[in-house]
Amino acid sequence: QVQLRQSGPGLVRPSQTLSLTCAVSGASISRGGSCWSWIRRPAGRSLEWIGRICTSGTTNYNPSLKSRLIMSVDTSKSQLSLRVTSVTAADTAVYYCVIEALGYFYYMDVWGEGTTVTVSS
């Protein structure tokens, strides 16, 4: 069974870069047709889709965040990475990495445990 283990700092200073990683186990990260999304939920608010990256090389970013996002896949380490630059308090949220359903893109099938990130000085 596929599992996602997230890691990253819980506290980031304003204007700095938020960096999260998501280790994939139980399935090959290189499996054809696989796509992963990053999703966040600010406290007291609903879920927000951040962006996605696929084994095909396709990336899609939320336009509201696009200028500050960098997503990548490291197949040698079997992990995904998310970087959000120039963070502000509005980026404070629980962040999730998610595997989309194989063959049914855009459906969030397997979720990581979530990483709580606070942006504060």
Partner 1 sequence: DIQMTQSPSSVSASVGDRVSITCRASEAIAWLAWYQEKPGKAPKLLIYATSRLQTGVPSRFSGSGSGTDFTLTISGLQPEDSATYYCQQADTIPLTFGGGTNVEIK
Q: What residues line the site for partner 1 (CB under 8 A)? A: 37, 46-49, 60, 62-64, 96, 101, 104-109, 111-114
**Whole-number Å distance between alpha carbons of 73 and 88:** 25
Residue pair 93/117 in contact (Cβ under 8 Å)? The answer is yes
Query: Least distance from C-beta 16 to partner 1, angstroms?
Result: 25
Q: Residue 113: how many CA atoms within 13 Å on its side-chain side? A: 6
C-alpha gyration radius of the chain: 14
16 vs 65, beta carbon nearer partner 1:
65
41 vs 83, beta carbon nearer partner 1:
41
Query: Least distance from C-beta 1 to partner 1, angstroms?
Result: 11
Query: Least distance from C-beta 8 to partner 1, angstroms?
Result: 15
**Whole-number Å distance between alpha carbons of 91 and 76:** 29
10 vs 76, beta carbon nearer partner 1:
10
